[in-house]
Chain A
Amino acid sequence: MFYIHCPYCGEHREEEEFHPKGQAHIARPADPAACSDEEWGDYLFFRDNPRGIHHELWVHAVGCRKFFNITRHTVTYAILETYRMGEQPRFTAEYPEGRSSRDAADQAPLREGVRA
């Protein structure tokens, strides 16, 4: 049973209030009609599926009903952080100990696990 901190409610709640919605930070192509089949298929179906640190989208389904992100380890299942939509993760595959800031500006481009 996860206890998940909802960054909007500011509280820890039980897993059953939430639903996982798959990998986070997947941007819908700005112009779908201009996508090749390859790009569109990648957007729809291909996921990182890492064994390790994973950024995922969750929804507080029976709470505030807002979407937010969780960084979680897919083997230990440890939740490293939860953060609001639009924010960047502190914990990534490159920085498993965490970075000091969530600002996108001072971060190196992310590879695995984050594509936004």
Chain B
Amino acid sequence: MFDVGDFQFLGELRRMNKRQLYYQFLNFGMIVSSALMIWKGLMVVTGSESPIVVVLSGSMEPAFYRGDLLFLTNYEEEPVRVGEIVVFKIEGRDIPIVHRVLKVHEKENGLVKFLTKGDNNQVDDRGLYAPGQMWLNKSDVVGRARGYVPYVGIVTILMNDYPKFKYAILALLGLFVLIHRE
């Protein structure tokens, strides 16, 4: 059995030589790297700095609920249109916001400014923008919603709400990979 009393799972670690120990760390590094590279690869393919986001608030109900997973793209050549759902960043806020485009103004020199509003909110987003900011620019956009998976992001919400839970899970997984020899 998994005999914690005798620390026999550490005994295996203690019997390893330098190369095996180093490989053990590399193995851990490769798991992290694979996830990282898939994420960066998605960034390159979609053009968005955060190609997958989780809806954290109910401000877009009934289109999106808390915990929905959104898939985003952000291609330069596609213009922003009224009715589209965009994810944007506001200066001074850590978490991006998912809302629908309400008004768009386009100038001939290519300058675009637009206003957003949550479907479930009473008023538009000017109150959410940085103080004095009236419009969003293209540079504020993280991406446009292209598809969604309902509810699977609830794990992310749980981890966001209970940071200790997140660190506990990460620490356990990390420890398991580090001490388990294949």
Q: Do A and B come from one complex?
A: no
- List the interface of chain B (C-beta within 8 A of A): none
- List the interface of chain A (C-beta within 8 A of B): none
